[in-house]
Amino acid sequence: MPEGPTEAQRSRIEEICQRLLDVPADRIEAALLEIAPDDAVVRREVAGILRYLERDVGEDASHRPEVPGRGELTGTTIADRYKVLGVLGEGGFGVVYEAEQVHPIRRRVAIKVLKPGMDSTAVLSRFETERQALGVMNHTGIACVHDAGRTERGLPYFVMELVKGEPITRFCDRHHLTIEERVRLMIRVCHGVQHAHMKGVIHRDLKPSNILVGYDHDGNAQPKIIDFGVAKATNRRLSEQ
């Protein structure tokens, strides 16, 4: 059985993946030998992640492997209580669905499910890091986690708050917010970021599309930080304090 990466190797794998995302496929092997000549585990994990990413977004659909893909869970029920309604979005590793929770309470939720085939140690570790990062936080400016588990096919998933809103820049422009109003909105975003940092979580991918703005129950603009897919814990274990 192949040796799994250590904690230090996981961090290096993540860093190298980010560096090589735009490198052509035929140059990946040479680049890995140059970056990590003495670490076969790191090379194997990085190559596996980049191979799946390239296959998912770079190949023509007719040449993709025969595995279920985007939207495969639409119309199904997860864990006997989440009726999957449709796809909200898709990243390199996972698909986010909108679903209706039918018990013990009824509500709309978002469910992030790991894509079939994305089961390398590094990807599973990143998926779990995102789930834990959201799970330790409790702030109105950050989407919260409700539940987690595995689908019938064994794919990891977690259930989170369904955030209805639009990217912060689009919201500001569409509603013609003044500079003062935009600053006030960003202050609320900063409060959410501060909360994450106090919990030992660094988002690392803050951008307008990951800050959605909607309205709270009082009719006030409420920004929500989403997508902690490349988040990093500042400590080895995420704080639950």
150-166 per-position pLDDT tens digit: 998 889 999 999 998 99
Q: Is 38 designated active site?
A: no
- What is the CATH topology of the domain spanning 166-233? Transferase(Phosphotransferase); domain 1 (1.10.510)
Give the pLDDT of residue 204.
83
How much of the chain exceeds pLDDT 70, in percent? 84
User: Which member of 39, 205, 218, 227 is catalytic?
Assistant: 205
CATH T-level assignment (fold) for domain 77-161: Phosphorylase Kinase; domain 1 (3.30.200)
pLDDT of residue 24: 76
> What residues does CATH 3.30.200.20 cover in the chain?
77-161
Is the confidence at residue 168, as pLDDT, over 60? yes
- Paired tokens of 126: 């990143």
* Statement: residue 218 has pLDDT above 50: yes
Instruction: List every span in the chain annotated with CATH 1.10.510.10.
Output: 166-233
Query: pLDDT-based confidence at 144, cuts 50/70/90?
Result: very high
Specify the pLDDT at position 225: 96
In Å, what is the CA distance from 113 to each residue of 10, 12, 207, 225, 231?
21, 25, 22, 19, 17
Q: Using N-to-C axis directions, what is the helix angle for 40-58 and 121-135, rounded to 10°?
A: 80
3-state SS class at 82 = strand
